[in-house]
A = this chain, B = another copy of it.
Amino acid sequence: MLIIDCHGHYTTAPAAHNAFREQQLARLKQSELAPVARGVISDDEIRETIETNQLKLQRERGADLTLFSPRASAMGHHQGNAAVSLDWSRACNDLIGRVVGLYPDNFVGVCQLPQSPGVPIADSIAELTRCVTELGFVGCNLNPDPSGGHWTSPPLTDRQWYPFYERMVELDVPAMVHVSASCNPNFHATGAHYINADTTAFMQFIEGDLFKDFPALRFVIPHGGGAVPYHWGRYRGLAGMLKRPPLAEHVMRNVYFDTCVYHQPGIDLLFRVIDLDNILFGSEMVGAVRGIDPETGHYFDDTKRYLDALQLTDAQRAQVFEGNARRVYPRLDAILKARSR
C-alpha cells in the first residue's frame, strides 16, 4: 500500500523565489523599477529546502508521496493584477515542476492558477493546460475568492466558472478548493479564511446544480471539509429544506474531504459521518500548524497518526491512503501505473 498525502505545499521555497515575489510587488508600487527577472535557484538549494523539511517529515512519518503545490497563502491573487498573477503563478508552478523532477518518487505536482479579482477564470485555462500537459501535474488549486477575503467573485456554481470546469473535465483533473491569504482584517488566513472557504464552497454546492451539468467534475475540500462534517446534520437538513436531493447523490459523488484536522476527536468525527469513499489522506505539512501538541507530544499536523489510531480494516486503510487518491486523480494513477507502483 502506498501512503499518498493529497495536500502538501512548498512552504519552504528558496529565498530567491520569495525575493522574486517581493521585487515583483515592489515594482507594482514603483513602476520606474526595472522589470523583474526570476531569481536563479540551483538544484542544490531545492534539495536543501525539501530534504530538511517535506521529504524528511515524509520519511519520518511514513508517507510515500505528496501531491505538491505552491504555498497557498503566498498565491496572493488579490495582489497586483492578472499579468503579475500569471508571472508569479508560472514561477511557482515551474518550481514545483523542478521539485517533482528531482524527486519523482516522492512528489507529484498540483498547480496554482493565475487568478485575479474580476478577471475571467477562462484566463487560467492556459496555465492549467501547460501544467498538466507539459509539467505532468495532476490537479490544481482553485481559489473561490481571489479577492482575499472580500468575496467579490460569484459562487463556484455560477456559469462564469464553467469554461474552466470544461477544461478540468477534458484534462480529467480535480481541483482542491483553496483560498490564499486574507487582506480582510476580520479573517485570519489559516484560522478563519481557509476554514470558512471550505464551508462556503460546500454550501454553494448544495444550493447549486453544478454536478448535474458536470457529472465528472471533482473537488477536494481541504481541512477536513471546513465545518461541514461537524455540522453534517445541519447540511443534511438544509438540503432537505432547499428541496435538494440527498447529499450522497447531490454533492458527494463529486466532492471529497482531506484529513487535515489536527486532533484525534476531529478525525474520529470525520470518519464517523463521512463515507470512506470521500476521504483522502492529507496533512498540509509543512503548513498552517507547525508545532507539537503538548497533549500528545506529536506534531499537530502528523495526521497519519490519527488515522492509524482508527479501527480500519486493511482494505479501508488502502482506500483512504491510496485508492481514493488514485481514483480522484486519474493522472496520478497513470503516473504510478507507468512506474509499476
Binds B, one of A82-90, A134-142, A227-235: A227-235
| A255-271 near B? 1/0 per residue, CB < 8 Å | 00000011101101100
Contact A190 B266 (CB under 8 A): no
Binds B, one of A162-170, A237-245, A320-328: A237-245
Binds B, one of A37-45, A49-57, A97-105, A143-151: A143-151
Is the CB of A31 closer than 8 A to any CB of chain B?
no
Give A290 to B184 CA distance when docked, in angstroms: 34
- A157-209: which residues lie under 8 A (CB-CB) from chain B? 184-188, 190-192, 195-196, 199-200, 203-204, 206-207
Which of B187, B223, B233 makes the CB contact (< 8 A) with A200?
B187
Contact B184 A151 (CB under 8 A): yes
Give A269 to B269 CA distance when docked, in angstroms: 7
Is the CB of A226 closer than 8 A to any CB of chain B?
yes
Name A241's closest neighbour in chain B (CB-CB).
B291
Contact A291 B227 (CB under 8 A): no
Give A6 to B290 CA distance when docked, in angstroms: 37
List B contacts of A151 (CB < 8 A): 149-151, 184, 186-187
Distance in angstroms from A55 CB to nearest chain B CB is 22
Is the CB of A286 closer than 8 A to any CB of chain B?
no
Most chain B C-beta atoms within 10 Å of own C-beta, residue among A144, A233, A235: A233
Distance in angstroms from A188 CB to nearest chain B CB is 5
List B contacts of A273 (CB < 8 A): 263, 265-266
Is the CB of A236 closer than 8 A to any CB of chain B?
yes
Name A260's closest neighbour in chain B (CB-CB).
B234
- A52-101: which residues lie under 8 A (CB-CB) from chain B? none
Contact B188 A207 (CB under 8 A): yes
Is the CB of A46 closer than 8 A to any CB of chain B?
no
Contact A240 B291 (CB under 8 A): yes
Contact status of A234 and B199, CB under 8 A, knowing A151-B149, A151-B186: no
List B contacts of A29 (CB < 8 A): none
Contact A145 B186 (CB under 8 A): yes
Which of B200, B229, B293 makes the CB contact (< 8 A) with A230?
B229
Is the CB of A224 closer than 8 A to any CB of chain B?
yes
Which of B224, B234, B269 makes the CB contact (< 8 A) with A265?
B269
List B contacts of A268 (CB < 8 A): 269
Give A183 to B196 CA distance when docked, in angstroms: 17
Is the CB of A153 closer than 8 A to any CB of chain B?
yes
Is the CB of A126 closer than 8 A to any CB of chain B?
no
List B contacts of A191 (CB < 8 A): 203, 206-207, 234-235, 238
Is the CB of A339 closer than 8 A to any CB of chain B?
no
Residues of A within 8 A of B (CB): 144-145, 149-151, 153-155, 184-188, 190-192, 195-196, 199-200, 203-204, 206-207, 223-224, 226-227, 229-238, 240-241, 261-263, 265-266, 268-269, 272-273, 288-291, 293, 295, 300-301
Chain A to chain B: the 7 pairs with minimum beta-carbon distance, closest first = A233-B263, A233-B262, A227-B227, A237-B289, A230-B230, A191-B203, A196-B196
